Amino acid sequence: MAAPLLLAPMAGISSLPFRRTMKECGAALVFTEMISANGLIRDGRKTVELLRSCADEKPLAIQLFGDDPQVLAAAAQLVGDQADLLDINLGCPVKKVVRAGAGSALLRNPQRVGQILAAVRRVFAGPLTIKIRSGWDQTHLNYMEIGQIAREEGVNAICLHPRSRSQNFGGTANWQQIAELKARLDIPVIGSGDLFHAADVLRMFTTTGCDAVMIARGAYGNPWIFEQAAALLQQQVPAPISTEQRWSVIRQHLRWHLAEFGEHKALIEMRKHLSWYAKGLPTATQFRGRLHDITSWPTLLDEAQNFFCSSPA
Ligand SMILES: Cc1cc2nc3c(=O)[nH]c(=O)nc-3n(C[C@H](O)[C@H](O)[C@H](O)COP(=O)(O)O)c2cc1C
């Protein structure tokens, strides 16, 4: 069985080509970025685009956000056939989302959380999870209460990113809270937060007892984190990534991006990913400078090939 290493939902990042790349490199399950339930109901074109998928990324977890139980249930019904797992976002700290009463704003309204989960559970029979932060702020840490509610409403697993909404991404994730949730809840707990290297993944499993982990920023330019972490979990030494292997993955990522978005958008998006792939390599700064000035896809390909094929493993 594949190691329980999941690719986290990341708005603006977890596109289909990114998810395929992570899947190819060993992610057991990939999540879409959060998708607006309201947008889906209104059939917003952009929202529907976020649901584009393909066979080789399966199984696919779809994450929804919203504030209204009936709208979320209607959205769950719409995507039910496509979702191998459905996740409800109860943790997003972004102002626009919170102002609309969704994401982490719901942590302040446990009763509403119960209503949402009951409504979604009624219409979706597959695996249902929630993803939360530890609370609204440091004086309102209610991850345990939300976890209990989720369990009572038939949620199958809960993912905790143990920072409060007010912490945003500051400080460090308090993994102790993952350990506490795992110790007190009898449904699986998925840990998230500060998994930047394969060794962090091993440490999260051993220190929290969590059932699975969700990797987010640590996958930026480093899809190999999945197989390296899987090796560590099996008490093996991770194999180094050769120059050829690295270029082969990057080239595939480029191709998938082009096929999905066309030259203009793929160029803009892949500049960001290529900058991440270059991290730690000699002359990465100069390479990033050149990327910034590139305006055509063939030039981007040439630059990337020259740089990554001539950089040491
Ligand atoms: C750019 C970005 C976008 C994110 N978008 C989402 C999202 O759509 N849904 C969600 O539940 N979490 C989202 N997150 C939170 C991550 O899934 C994860 O819980 C968080 O980054 C902590 O993990 P890390 O420290 O390993 O990055 C996002 C994080 C980042 C950095």
Return the CATH number at 279: 1.10.1200.80
Per-residue pLDDT, 196 = 98
Q: How many CB atoms lie within 10 A of CB 292?
A: 9
Please indicate, yes or no, whether residues 175 and 300 belong to a single structural domain of this protein.
Answer: no
Please indicate, yes or no, whether residues 201 and 292 belong to a single structural domain of this protein.
Answer: no
190 lies in which domain range?
A: 5-233
Residue 199, domain member (yes or no): yes
Per-residue pLDDT, 1 = 64
The tens digit of pLDDT for each residue in 126-143 reads 999 999 999 999 999 999
Catalytic one among 25, 92, 159, 210?
92
DSSP run (H or E) holding 16: helix 16-24
The tens digit of pLDDT for each residue in 62-99 reads 999 999 999 999 999 999 999 999 999 999 999 999 99
Residue 238, domain member (yes or no): no
The tens digit of pLDDT for each residue in 23-55 reads 999 999 999 999 999 999 997 777 888 999 999
Per-residue pLDDT, 302 = 97
Give percent of the chain with pLDDT exceeding 70.
Answer: 100
The best mutation among 107, 169, 217 to test binding of ligand 1, ranked by most ligand atoms within 8 Å of the C-beta, falls on: 217
Per-residue tokens: 216: 């987010």
210 is annotated as an active-site residue: no
Output phi, psi for 92, to 5 deg: -60, 125
Q: Which residue has the tokens 């976002």?
A: 89
Please indicate, yes or no, whether residues 9 and 157 belong to a single structural domain of this protein.
Answer: yes
Per-residue pLDDT, 48 = 83
Please indicate, yes or no, whether residues 23 and 163 belong to a single structural domain of this protein.
Answer: yes
Please indicate, yes or no, whether residues 139 and 280 belong to a single structural domain of this protein.
Answer: no
Residue 217, domain member (yes or no): yes
Please indicate, yes or no, whether residues 99 and 164 belong to a single structural domain of this protein.
Answer: yes
The mean pLDDT of the chain is: 97
Q: State the CATH number of the domain containing residue 159.
A: 3.20.20.70
Please indicate, yes or no, whether residues 247 and 229 belong to a single structural domain of this protein.
Answer: no
Domain count across the chain: 2
Is the confidence at residue 188, as pLDDT, over 80?
Answer: yes
* Pocket flag, ligand 1, residue 200 (CB < 6 Å): no
Residue from 212, 182, 216, 180 nearest 196 by CA? 216
Is the confidence at residue 274, as pLDDT, over 90?
Answer: yes
Residue from 187, 185, 257, 196 nearest 221 by CA? 196
Task: Give the residue, by CA position, lying nearest to ligand 1 atom 10.
Answer: 9
Mean pLDDT, to the nearest integer, of 241-255?
97
Please indicate, yes or no, whether residues 252 and 183 belong to a single structural domain of this protein.
Answer: no
